[in-house]
Chains A and B, each alone.
Chain A
Amino acid sequence: MGFLSRSWAIAQKDIVAELRTRETVISMLLFGFLVILIFNFGIEPGLREENLVKPGVLWAAFTFAGILGLNRSFAQEKENDCLQGLLLCPVDRAVIYLGKFFGNLVFTAIMGVVVFIFFSVLYNVDLVGALLPMVLILLLASVGFSSVGTLFSSVSVGLKTRDVLLSILLFPVMVPVILAAAKSSARVLDGDGLGAGSLWLGLLVVYDVVFLAISVMVFDYTVEE
């Protein structure tokens, strides 16, 4: 059984646990819906600049809801000290990181797509035309978000102030992802298609590759005693 299949075993374990408790994804979705709803009340109907505001609303909801999932990610490994059990396994630390990353990616991507569908109903977005390009943007943003988020979640898990610390650590590093995702989705929501935002998509891809590689390399140092 190879490197990736053992990582997948870790992700699969997280997914099975989530299917049983439904704690993480449900709370992420509810929080995402609430953020969108609150912004919806705050934005005046028929506002001329509404199109400029919309992507910001979507990505604010994505980021805040995503943080909830990341906070749970390593917290569940602390129950019964399971993280130590994992670290005792004869696997490379990168296997553990990638396993947790895959799990977070699945939860974040699902949350992103469902929140977008809810958003499109409330903000009158052409769902049929926008869904596929938006799914691609959401997926790329989820990779960047989960890669750095998984790393920082492992850093903050042992601390009493982990909820606050994770947000403080993560948000500044996530700026390029949120910026690129908001800019490219603005083009899609305007009906210009993915091509118009290709530069921003390129930035997302580069961010994903660079930060995933860095996270794999430094994860070892975050979990060693």
Chain B
Amino acid sequence: MTTLPAIRVRGLWKYFGHFAALRGLDLDVEAGRFLTIFGPNGAGKTTLMKVLSTQSGASEGSVVVGGVELPRGAGELRRRIGVISHNTYLYPQLSAYENLVFYGRMYQVPDLRDRAMSLLEEVGLVGRMDDRVATFSRGMEQRLSIARALLHQPDLMFLDEPYTGLDQHASRMLRDVLETLHTGERTIVLTTHNLEQGLEMCDDVAIQVRGRMVYREPIESVDRASFEQTYFDYVGKEFRWDS
């Protein structure tokens, strides 16, 4: 008996007016795997993440996430997904704790206060829990954003360029927190154009260029030393095809 992957996308097209951001994209992600999608700016990575995380609808094609067909089951799926983006979705005028409690109420998280406190501890922000998010550094905001995304214990995580704007120290802290998420019980999809950070924790590697997946391999069969060349070969080839 074959089990359905956690994410199955077939023939996905997404148009913005006449512009096709995704062009017949296919994707399978097995449950519990960590997939990193690399791609240059304008490859459609964020558009793909928005479709997978119910924020945007497909123009054509089928999208099944966590066994739920989108967009029909979007409401049901939202209980099970966590999204971390370069935008933090945090209210600057509320404190770190208030932000978590607010989102926890939206997700109807049981034992909310305890859950919020334990997450604040996990991301190292207990000491700043009563401070307004407006006073936080970019790195602290992103750590709090991780806590927000984990409040309802999602089994699917979508991380869209989470390292954007972080300095090296903050990136390192974020990486440590992300490592704790990669337990094999959660399916994780990360998009980035930073090769070094993207290769660190993943199980599978994909390259997306101009709205299509052009490369997909398990990390074991990827030669890290030469991956940069592989990446530029694919990116360059795609640009030549389209020119």
Contacts and interface: CB of A to CB of B under 8 A. Distances in A.
Contacts of B89: 80-82, 84-86, 88
A86 B90 contact: no
B102 A90 contact: no
A89 to B, nearest CB: 4
Contacts, number: 74
A85 B78 CA distance: 11
Contacts of B148: 85
A21 interface: yes
Given A225-B56, A225-B57, A84 B87 contact: yes
Interface stretch (B104-112, B184-192, B214-222): B104-112
A224 B105 CA distance: 22
Contacts of A13: 91, 94, 98, 102
B93 interface: yes
A interface bracket (residues with beta carbon within 8 Å of B): 20 to 34
A9 interface: yes
Main secondary structure on A side of the interface with B: helix
Contact of B94 (A17, A89, A91): A17
Contacts of A87: 55
> Which of A9, A89, A91 counts the most chain B CB atoms within 10 A?
A89
B102 A80 contact: no
Interface string A165-203: 000000000000000000000000000000000000000
Given A84-B87, A90-B78, A79 B92 contact: yes
5 contacts: A5-B105, A13-B98, A16-B98, A82-B89, A84-B89
Q: Lowest 3 A-B CB distances belong to which pairs?
A: A85-B89, A81-B87, A17-B93
Given A80-B90, A80-B91, A88-B53, 20 more contacts: A6-B106, A9-B102, A9-B105, A13-B91, A17-B94, A79-B92, A81-B85, A82-B91, A84-B55, A84-B87, A85-B103, A88-B54, A88-B78, A89-B106, A89-B107, A90-B75, A90-B76, A90-B78, A90-B79, A90-B107
